[in-house]
Amino acid sequence: MALSATDLTAGLVVVANRLPVDRVVHHDGSVSWQRSPGGLVTALEPVMRGNDGAWVGWHGGVGETVEPFVDEGLTLVPVPLSTEDVEGYYEGFSNATLWPLYHDVVAPPQFHREWWNSYVRVNQRFANRTAEVAEQDGVVWVQDYQLQLVPAMLRLHRPDLRIGFFLHIPFPPTELFQQLPWRRQILEGLLGADLVGFQLPGGAANFVRLVRARVGHKTHRDTVFLPGGRVVTVAPYPISIDSQGFEQLARRPEAEQRAQEIRADLGNPRTVLLGIDRLDYTKGMPQRLRAFGELISDGKIDVNEAAFVQVATPSRERVGQYQVLRDDIERLVGRLNGSLGRIGRPPITYLHSSYPREEMAALYRAADVMVVTPLRDGMNLVAKEYVACRFTEDGALVLSEFAGAADELRQAYQVNPYDINGLKAALLEAMNASPRELGRRMRAMRRQVADNDIGRWASTFLAELRRVRPPHGKPTRPSSVAS
């Protein structure tokens, strides 16, 4: 349904690089919409669908202008990207500069001035579109590293708005961030918001420290004082999932039946291990597959008794580092299966594909050990989804210390993913734990995930945004700060 200009405006506007659905043009010219990949959409979609808001974002097509439309009660406002924008802003600056820089430089970030110029141009386009959509005194919530300049650009035109920003990925230590030639512009862009949220306290502290050192503003704990009297609040808000929704999916008889089918197709091994990740070099897939392979060749695991399913969701396929990773993983899986497998028993089932939530829930039900071992990750929602689906209070989660989720899921088998021997020991411990031990750990993690779900995350952030910047009011200082 096409919308008039007044239909478009909303009191709550989310701005994210992608819309929750991607426009796909098929070979025969027909068009369909598919759910977008990634944790951001998984997290925010249920919040926004319940809120009558608008969502400003890229529709995934290149060089196409798509009119705003309503999808299940949510107004979607597409922002067009040209071929040059996709190359410079999305594949370049967002995913070959910022992404590796913010993830501990696990791959070398590339710095190119044309990419930066494109990032500025596209951020301005998002800010302009948002300025048209947001109601007077409305709330705008800008998401993630692709749009760090939007808060300041938006404030310039629409000082009436309450602007929040949330970073879904890690915010790096000051030593790494300082490599960025445009570090000051990024910090100033974020300071356009009234409330800047990070996944973990460490990220928030890094940001405040950098603002003091690089921009020169006064700061006190979680508050930045700008010249002219405006204040910006900085705080951690660990993101979560629709815990109940996932549990309900997992409790359906169809999920149980599908889980049994999956196990049967794998040859009903004693232990099913599972990894589900976007195919990304931050996720630590080679390390975990190598550890599993070594356990087989060491004779610690019998290939007839354990099967590893690795789902690798296609992602950013035109970016060079992702193409190299795909080749590396596929070569590694081929080598491990070739050298360790038996007829009908490949140790690793590798699936380069994305699946709907129903199939994910069945996979979580089928898995005895969930292996989430990123080298660095903002949060990792897969870990939380697994926990939400284990209503039988069994199953083990092997979790990297370097995933944001490790702060909350303390009863997981936590590992340093760079330590292959430690990883092997954790996998064995998880595979051989008693039901009693597994139950104890899973119960505690389930309480955490049930109590801190996505609804709570969003309402906490939005309540704080309304508190630090009441409508028509001056920003308030947090009570902890003496005037």
Residues assigned a catalytic role: 168, 377
Residue nearest to ligand F6P (CB): 38
By beta-carbon proximity to ligand F6P, the closer residue of 96 and 195 is 96
If DSSP codes are grouped into helix, strand and coil, which group holds residue 171?
A: coil
Return phi, psi of residue 347, to 5°: -65, -30
By beta-carbon proximity to ligand F6P, the closer residue of 93 and 413 is 93
Task: Pick one of 8, 14, 21, 40: the residue that binds ligand F6P (CB under 6 A).
Answer: 40
Interface with ligand F6P includes 168 (CB under 6 A)? yes
Phi-psi region of 104 (alpha: psi -120 to 50; beta: other; left: phi over 0): left
By beta-carbon proximity to ligand F6P, the closer residue of 15 and 329 is 15
Task: Pick one of 11, 37, 245, 286: the residue that binds ligand F6P (CB under 6 A).
Answer: 37
Helices 183-190 and 201-210, interaxial angle, to 10°? 110
Interface with ligand F6P includes 223 (CB under 6 A)? no
- Segment 109 to 148, residues that bind ligand F6P, using CB under 6 A: 144
By beta-carbon proximity to ligand F6P, the closer residue of 169 and 285 is 169
Helices 285-297 and 320-340, interaxial angle, to 10°? 10
Q: Are residues 206 and 464 in contact, defined by beta-carbon separation less than 8 angstroms?
A: no
Task: Pick one of 199, 271, 315, 373: the residue that binds ligand F6P (CB under 6 A).
Answer: 315
Please give the Cα distance from 40 to 456 (Å, whole number): 16
- Segment 6 to 25, residues that bind ligand F6P, using CB under 6 A: 17-18
Number of residues that bind ligand F6P (CB under 6 A): 12
Interface with ligand F6P includes 385 (CB under 6 A)? no
Please give the Cα distance from 69 to 236 (Å, whole number): 33
Task: Pick one of 155, 316, 365, 469: the residue that binds ligand F6P (CB under 6 A).
Answer: 316
Interface with ligand F6P includes 169 (CB under 6 A)? yes
Q: Which residues does 448 contact at the CB level (< 8 Å), separation at least 6?
A: 387, 408, 409
Question: Minimal distance in Å, beta carbon 43 to ligand F6P?
Answer: 9
Interface with ligand F6P includes 61 (CB under 6 A)? no
Secondary structure element (H or E) that encloses residue 184, with its range = helix 183-190
Please give the Cα distance from 144 to 192 (Å, whole number): 14
- C-alpha distance from residue 223 to each of 155, 236, 327, 464, 472 (Å): 18, 13, 46, 13, 21
- C-alpha distance from residue 319 to each of 221, 264, 294, 322, 323 (Å): 39, 37, 31, 6, 7
By beta-carbon proximity to ligand F6P, the closer residue of 316 and 424 is 316
Question: Minimal distance in Å, beta carbon 381 to ligand F6P?
Answer: 9
Interface with ligand F6P includes 283 (CB under 6 A)? no
Question: Minimal distance in Å, beta carbon 95 to ligand F6P?
Answer: 6
418-445 burial by CB neighbour count: b if 16+ within 10 A, else e? eeeeebbbbbbebbebeeeebbebbeeb
What token pair was written down for 338?
Answer: 């070739």
Please give the Cα distance from 177 to 180 (Å, whole number): 6
Question: Minimal distance in Å, beta carbon 316 to ligand F6P?
Answer: 5
By beta-carbon proximity to ligand F6P, the closer residue of 41 and 249 is 41
Question: Minimal distance in Å, beta carbon 16 to ligand F6P?
Answer: 7
By beta-carbon proximity to ligand F6P, the closer residue of 57 and 68 is 57
If DSSP codes are grouped into helix, strand and coil, which group holds residue 419?
A: coil
Please give the Cα distance from 144 to 167 (Å, whole number): 4
Task: Pick one of 13, 14, 39, 363: the residue that binds ligand F6P (CB under 6 A).
Answer: 39
By beta-carbon proximity to ligand F6P, the closer residue of 41 and 152 is 41
Q: Are residues 186 and 116 in contact, defined by beta-carbon separation less than 8 angstroms?
A: no
Question: Minimal distance in Å, beta carbon 320 to ligand F6P?
Answer: 15
Q: Given the rule CB under 6 A, which of 38-46, 191-199, 368-376, 430-438 is the region that contacts ligand F6P? A: 38-46
Q: Which residues bind ligand F6P (CB under 6 A)?
A: 17-18, 37-41, 144, 168-169, 315-316
